[in-house]
Structure 1
Amino acid sequence: MSDALVPPDGPVGAQPETPVCARHSDRPTRLRCTRCDRPACPDCLRDASVGMQCADCVNEGARTVRRARTSAGAEVSNGRPIITQVMIALNVLAYVVTVVQSGSPMNNSRSDLFLSTSLIPDLTANGEWWRVVTSGFMHFGLIHLALNMAALFVVGPIVEQELGRLRYSAVYFLSLLGGSAAAFYFGTVCQQLAGASGAVFGLMGALLIVFKRQKRDISTIVVIVGINLVSNLFTNASLLGHLGGFVIGGLLTLAMVKAPQKNRTTYQVAAVVAAALLLVGMFVLRYYELDTALERVVEYARTCGPN
């Protein structure tokens, strides 16, 4: 055996131990991240503007980069239109339940669920206020459902991407309530109303504002809305409900996209609150009007009726 001294770094000519990936201890690698200089295997490296960076550095850089935003303040994203899909699913589910109860896909309005949730102003004013919301998920037959869901499927994702999920939800439900409020306030007390048309027309109004803001052609939207509104004059569809939803959806979206970048959220919340208060005011005023009219009828029957 030789007594020659061995260098502290190992025998002359020996290869140093190969480093392992910082994220995978079982993967030897000679590659390194150009940002943090840590060893990284090929699966953990990403193309960067300069060299290759590990996944950790890429994620850290993404958090510090300011993401692009839409005119309403939502982050630009190509994600799935979750809210639109949920609304379509709820409408379809409600329709299926009414079909099962009634035993008919076209005369489902006879079902117990439909009768207890559609908007009938007289019953609503007597305390059944849930109808102003639930009526937006009921439909008179398969064709009514298909037309509304087709429009929601086309228009919804565009508006949801521009507004973001939270703002989009506010526009959807306030448009739904806007249609109910218009029919309740201006319509007759015995009419039966149902359908997502108020919400859908609200989204059409929102899309009109979004396209106008983006300086895109709005002629197609105007024609579609115009045809639908005119067709209401020759069908049993509620013109008041459609107009109410369209006006609320359009005005609320206008307030959202016009809000100044500074304190944008505050302005948008104020717009939502103002729209909600307006609709509540319409419901309250109509309620007292109907209540007063009923009292007058009762008083007349008591004092002027046959003895």
Structure 2
Amino acid sequence: MRCGRPICPECMTSASVGFQCPECIRAGRASVPAPRGTPPVRAAGRQWGVVTLTLIAVNVAMFVATAVSAYADGERPLDNHRSSLFLDLQLAPALVQEGGEDWRLLTAAFLHIGITHLALNMLALLLFGSELERALGRWRYLAVYLLSALGGSVAVSLFGDPWVPVAGASGAIWGLMGAFGVLAVTSRGDVRGIVTLLVLNLAVSILVPGISLLGHLGGLVVGVVAAGIVVLARRRTEWQGLCLLLLTAVLCVTALTVPTLAVLDF
């Protein structure tokens, strides 16, 4: 097909259907819509995981909310743990069992004492969470995370001092590390890296004061169990859901009805 323009053999360009003049080529390229770039939010979700980024956003939002509450209470914003909102949401086993404030079992996992505590936990969540979200799928990964957080709270409620408050996402993150170990074992991968990391974190939890070892170990154990359920029943979605719900019920009933068994000095 010809465009009607004067033909210059030296300027014509070979095409699949003959030859085209430069003006026709430019006009054709202009008529083709430019490819749309991926929105930054969607690109970040693909790279790091939608659920992981959402969990990080919730933790950051809770930190901001407690900082604002601290300022409103006459405290420094960075002393967010002194705010009335923080005190209403942190885990205090005595207030859960005797006061019926059962929401503390989960809300405490979204609180952090200071910006450093928040930054370290969110970095760990970004690194571990994004990989696990790809491996397990969004909803299974979210279930493992929340159950691990609940497991840490239950361990504190059972074995910790009922009047010592606890807060942080560390129990959930230890659960993610336990889930990594389960995946490594079931896929016959190298477990030395995750075992070394757990040992190092265990040493830090024991040696550094103010860290809840009970919360970490509780999250680890429940993370291993939850990930084991997901892996063993990976082809039976209904069994996965049923077993995870049963595990949730056992944890909740235990935390709400079983009194503190001992005060352990770690």
2:80 aligned with 1:112: no
Q: Which amino acid aligns with 1:96?
A: V
How big is the shift at 1:150?
0.7
Q: Which of residues 84, 92, 107 in structure 1 aligns to 2:60?
A: 92
Higher mean alpha-carbon deviation, 165-174 vs 273-282, is at 273-282
RMSD over aligned Cα atoms: 2.2
TM-score (norm 2): 0.75
User: Are 1:191 and 2:164 matched, yes or no?
Assistant: yes
How far is the alpha carbon of 1:254 from its aligned partner? 1.3
Deviation at 1:80, TM superposition (A): 5.1
Aligned residues with identical type, % of pairs: 40
Greater helix fraction, Structure 1 or Structure 2: 2
Name the CA distance, whole Å, in 1 between partners of 2:93 and 2:132.
31
Q: CA deviation at 1:279?
A: 0.2
Q: Give the Å deviation of 1:105.
A: 5.0
For the pair 1:257 / 2:231, whether they are aligned, the reply is: yes
The one of 162, 166, 174 equivalent to 1:201 is 174
Aligned to 1:173: 146
2:167, 2:82 → 1: CA distance? 13
Alignment of 1:17-166 (within 5 A): 81-103=49-71, 104=76, 106-125=78-97, 126-166=99-139
With over 3 angstroms needed to count, the CA separation of the structure-2 counterparts of 1:80 and 1:145, relative to structure 1, is: closer
Taking a change above 3 Å as real, the CA distance of residues 189 and 163 of structure 1, as seen in their structure-2 partners, is same
Residue 239 in structure 1 maps to residue 224 in structure 2: no
What letter is aligned with 1:151?
A: A
Give the Cα–Cα distance (whole angstroms) in 1 for the partners of residues 101 and 245 of structure 2: 23
Match of 1:279 among 226, 251, 258: 251
Q: How far apart are the structure 2 equivalents of 1:277 and 1:249?
A: 15
AA in 2 matched with 1:94: M
The superposition leaves residues 259-307 of structure 1 with CA deviations (integer Å, 9 ceiling, x where unpaired) of 263xx11221132022112202311332xx37xxxxxxxxxxxxxxxxx
In structure 1, distance between residues paired with 2:174 and 2:214 = 11
SS in 2 for 1:236: coil
2: CA distance, partners of 1:108 / 1:220: 35
Does the 8 Å CA contact 2:154/2:218 hold for their aligned counterparts? yes
1:207-222 map, 5 Å: 207-222=180-195
Query: Which residue of 2 is the match for residue 21 of structure 1?
Result: none
- Structure 1 residue runs of 5 or longer lacking an equivalent are 1-29, 31-42, 44-77, 291-307
How far the C-alpha of 1:90 sits from its partner, in A, is: 0.6
Alpha-carbon distance, 1:192 to partner: 0.6
Higher relative contact order (CA 8 A, sep 6+): 2
For the residue of structure 2 that corresponds to 1:193, the secondary structure is coil
1:27-49, Cα deviation, whole Å (9 max, x unpaired) = xxx9xxxxxxxxxxxx8xxxxxx
Instruction: Tell me if the contact between 1:105 and 1:142 (Cα under 8 Å) persists in the aligned partners.
Output: no
Pairwise CA distance, 1:226? 1.4
- TM-aligned CA deviation for residue 88 of structure 1: 0.3
Q: Distance in 2 between matches of 1:273 and 1:180?
A: 17
Counterparts of 1:130 and 1:249, CA distance in 2 = 20
CA drift of 1:222 comes to 1.2
Deviations 1:77-114 (A, max 9, x none): x6651110000001011111222222435421101111
8 Å CA contact retained: 1:206, 1:250: yes
CA contact (8 A) 1:119 1:192 kept: yes
CA distance in 2 between counterparts of 1:106 and 1:178 reads: 28
Contact 2:96 2:256 in 1 (8 A): no
Distance 1:184 1:196 in 2: 16
Q: Distance in 2 between matches of 1:109 and 1:228?
A: 24
What is the total number of aligned residue pairs between the two structures?
214
Between the aligned partners of 1:116 and 1:260, the Cα distance in structure 2 is 38
